[in-house]
Structure 1
Amino acid sequence: MAPKVFTIGHSNHLFSTFLELIQEHDINLVADVRTNPYSKHSPHFNKKPLQKSLEESLIKYVYLGKNMGGKPRDKKFYHNHELIYHRLEKDEKYQEALNELIKLTEKNQIVIMCSEEDPKSCHRHHLIGQSLLKKGFEISHIRGHGDTDKVEMDFQARLV
């Protein structure tokens, strides 16, 4: 059976709603993959308050956004100001973070967290989810209404 990983966008949820969504799937570790782990509109999702609230709920927190974030600073990952996912996927630091994430799945039920509710507009679908699919993982997005969407390999990702 393929190892399973969930993803979620915190959106503008209350922390209690977010917690319910992840607890429904027995999540015990949140992997934050935001380049900048802060939210103007939902400050309870800023790195420190989020980490504290999760730990109080007996859920571990790990920050991987420095090397897995969808807004890297290095211009080599962009073309006409658009992130080219396969360029970032081949980066050594991204691969190190991906391997760390995979290692964490061995003993944890993980949710990869970013800010966008819709995974189709987020790098957790177009980049991280695709990287994990290539390694044999089953990926499901937890949507804001509580349902899950199973992730399929993107056509573009198959070409890389």
Structure 2
Amino acid sequence: MRQGNSIFTVGHSTHSMDKFLQLLKAHQVTAIADVRSSPYSRHVPHFSRETLSEALAENGVAYVFLGRELGARSRDNSCYVNDVVSYDRLSNTSEFQSGIHRLLDGRKSYRISLMCSEKDPTECHRTILVAKRLVEIAVPVVHILGDGSVEPHEDTMLRVADILGMPRNDLLRSERDVIADAYKFREKQIAYRRRG
């Protein structure tokens, strides 16, 4: 896969800052778009917004917080169904669309990686919500895995289908159908739920 015009994703997980920076450098990432709704971490405080932004700047990597636009915890009540975020509703808000446009504009000057906290992209909204919308508008997405290897988005979604036990060798269902169902089922598992 040609990665030159791709948008990457990465999870900071419990990496040290040095390891995280190595992952970015290995893939020539020049800008991080932080898509966490809350850009702070008690468990790995070096990934809190201010500390992270400073460390990235010291290493020539730009930082932008897009958690308001592209985060999974919407402040818009119309995005909730029975106190659970609907990714379809969220992705159709003007705020979300604004975040997508910022990524599209940014990739003209930067090699961007979305960043969230989850190590595995199959467990994160950066894949099931944000990357889904990007690939719908023909933006290639590549996930940087914890070991430094990369995985094209379609392969990640097929892995989601496998994790969910969805059959892929069905005569009556295309790979596209399997991936569409994988998005729906994974969203039900990971979408933000408000506490009542």
Select which of 46, 55, 69 maps to 1:67.
69
Runs of 4+ off more than 2 Å: 73-76, 78-83
The answer to which structure, 1 or 2, has the higher relative contact order (CA under 8 A, 6+ apart) is: 1
Q: Give the alignment of 1:27-46 within 5 angstroms.
A: 27-46=29-48
- Alpha-carbon distance between aligned partners in 1 of 2:82 and 2:12, rounded to the nearest angstrom: 28
User: Structure 2 length as normaliser, TM-score?
Assistant: 0.76
- Alpha-carbon distance between aligned partners in 2 of 1:5 and 1:105, rounded to the nearest angstrom: 8
In the other structure, the counterpart of 1:53 is 55
Structure 2 unaligned runs (5+)?
A: 158-178, 185-196
Q: Give the alignment of 1:81-160 within 5 angstroms.
A: 81-152=83-154, 154-156=179-181
Where is the strand percentage greater, Structure 1 or Structure 2? 1
SS at match of 1:7: strand
Q: Give 1:85's aligned amino acid.
A: Y
Alignment: residue pair count: 158
Which structure has the larger Rg over C-alpha atoms?
2
Q: Give 1:82's aligned amino acid.
A: V
- Alpha-carbon distance between aligned partners in 2 of 1:15 and 1:76, rounded to the nearest angstrom: 37
User: Structure 1 length as normaliser, TM-score?
Assistant: 0.92
- Alpha-carbon distance between aligned partners in 2 of 1:144 and 1:131, rounded to the nearest angstrom: 23
Contact 1:6–1:141 (Cα < 8 Å) also in 2: yes
Tell me how large the CA RMSD over aligned residues is: 1.7
Structure 1 unaligned runs (5+)?
A: none
